[in-house]
Amino acid sequence: MTIRIVLADDHPIVREGLVSVLETQPDFEVVGQAGDGAAAVELVAALQPDVVLLDLEMPVLDGVQALRAMRTADPNTRVLVFTAFDTDERIISAVQAGARGYLLKGAPREELFNAIRVVARGGSTLQPIVAARLLERMALPTTFEPLTAREQEVLALLAQGLQNKEIAARLYISERTVKFHVSALLAKLGAGNRTEAVHRARQYHLL
């Protein structure tokens, strides 16, 4: 079985490199290339490939918008996201839009080949690091007790790496009061330490 692939990436040199790599496999055929999201949507509708290899950062329509449009036109479109972006929001948006796989550029070529074959067969695949990020994000509580204005100030200074004594001096409060606010932040964010609190605050878009 030959797997027909459409590449969507705004960098011509990246597309050329991918074509060279993919066509080392006897069961792969690159049938089309697109340099922006809108062109990718049109190309996929016209060619009906087995797999779309899609970057997320593209002009006209970004990858997620293009993915939604492809899936709206044909819910059976099989898209493997192949991108340099590993932020939680990017991963979740792509998966919610219907991506069957998410692979980071820089992955070994054998991992890319395997992911394409899995997606072509109707399966789903996530690179381990991506799966871990997604599971971590899904495990976060959807609601939590809102932060007070003072807790928000303390959090912002924690994110700058300041210690309690320095925070106390910045906010003109006692070090004991800072400790109280830090404890409250840890409890509200479900964090075990200051570093984790800052990490979770970024995930919640509190910073």
User: Quick one: 110 and 39 in the same domain?
Assistant: yes
What pTM was computed for the model? 0.65
Domain stops at, among 105, 120, 139 = 139
Residues 29 and 81 in one domain: yes
User: Residues 123, 41: one domain?
Assistant: yes
User: Vertex 39, ends 58 and 36: CA angle to 5°?
Assistant: 15
Q: Name the amino acid, one letter, at 172.
A: Y
A 10 A CB-CB count for 150 gives: 15
Domain that holds residue 39: 3-139
Query: Which of 93, 115, 139 lies at the terminal end of a domain, its last residue?
Result: 139
Domain final residue pick, 86, 107, 139: 139
In a domain, 144, yes or no: no
CATH code of the domain covering residue 132: 3.40.50.2300
Residues 129 and 176 occupy one common structural domain: no
**Tens place of pLDDT per residue across the chain (207 aa):** 899 999 999 999 999 999 999 999 999 999 999 999 999 999 999 999 999 999 999 999 999 999 999 999 999 999 999 988 777 677 778 888 889 988 889 889 999 999 999 999 998 887 666 655 555 555 555 566 788 999 999 999 999 999 999 999 999 999 999 999 999 998 888 888 898 889 888 877 788
Nearest to 142 by CA among 194, 90, 87, 190: 190
Are residues 108 and 164 part of one domain?
Answer: no
Distances (CA, A) of 143 to 6, 147, 188, 190: 40, 12, 10, 11
Instruction: Tell me if 171 is assigned to some domain.
Output: yes
CB 127 within 8 A of CB 111: yes
